[in-house]
Amino acid sequence: MTNQNKSNHTATNTAPATSSLILEERHDSELFRVYASILDAITDHVLLPGKKLTESDLCRQMVCSRNTVRSALSLLAHDKIVDLQPNRGAFVHVPDLKEIQDVYNSRIELETMIFNLLIELPDLETRLQPLYDMIEREAEASAKADRVGWNRLANAFHVELVRLLDNDVLFEIMNTLCARSSLIVAVFGERSHGHGHRTSGHTCDEHREILDLLAAGKRTRVLKLLRRHLGGCIERLESKYEAKNELH
């Protein structure tokens, strides 16, 4: 492993995997272990969209029963991360244009409500401090071209904001939407290191500005930035979707 790869691996290890953000009461089971392993492999772009998930291979890799694998795949299908196709098996889900728009537009509306609730919290500036550290790690991952680490931290930023509200339902919905966002990025996100780096660096800057505006209680400005932040994601992904279709 090269020094650069070692640095990237270390940065990735400091970034929370998608499964680690799921509510803790779901963690203590063999089913969750298998579910989490497959989910993280998909959201980390190890198992790419369209990939066939063979039960026998998963049983061997996870050292578990076929029933456990089937149950995990059923849960992932419920979360729209995996597709179960009759007589063909399980495949990593491939989102279409409508799903891209639906997921990100849902996030815009949901996070608008979340930001409105956050601004009403007492001592919000103090509560936000740990997220500044997360942004520093996000910027570090971006600078090192650690795409997995950056993607994990970029999603975790939005999920951790919801955690401040202590609302388990909102938290689970946000985590699911961010997991689906990560899957979308796996299909249509930036492939170039240079362009991807600029995009991720811009995201870090906007995340920092979001925290500053929330801490200052600037409701109108932070909601405008949120819509620009996620709206820009939609525009880039729509462009990538159209380019991919033209290529094929």
User: Distance (Å, rounded) from C-alpha 215 to C-alpha 21?
Assistant: 23
Q: Which of 76, 92, 108 is the last residue in one of the domains?
A: 92
**Domain-embedded: residue 85:** yes
Residue 200 has a pLDDT of 65
> What does the pLDDT look like over 159-211, one tens digit per residue?
999 999 999 999 999 999 999 998 998 887 654 333 344 466 688 999 999 99
Domain holding 63: CATH number? 1.10.10.10
Task: Name which of 106, 90, 109 is nearest 98 in CA terms.
Answer: 106
pLDDT given at position 185: 86
CB 91 within 8 A of CB 171: no
Q: Indicate which CATH number applies to the domain containing 159.
A: 1.20.120.530
Confidence of residue 147 (pLDDT cuts 50, 70, 90): confident
Q: Are residues 78 and 123 in the same domain?
A: no
pTM of the model: 0.85
Q: What is the rounded distance in angstroms from the CA atom of residue 185 to the CA atom of residue 24?
A: 26
Q: Is 50 helix (H, G, I), strand (E, B) or coil?
A: coil
Tokens linked to 103: 């997921």
Q: Is residue 9 part of a domain?
A: no
pLDDT at 13: 54
- Tell me the residue range of the domain where 178 lies: 97-246
Considering only CA atoms, which of 4, 210, 192, 189 is closest in space to residue 100?
Answer: 189
Distance CA 82, CA 54 (A): 12
Same domain, 113 and 205: yes
59 and 116 share a domain? no
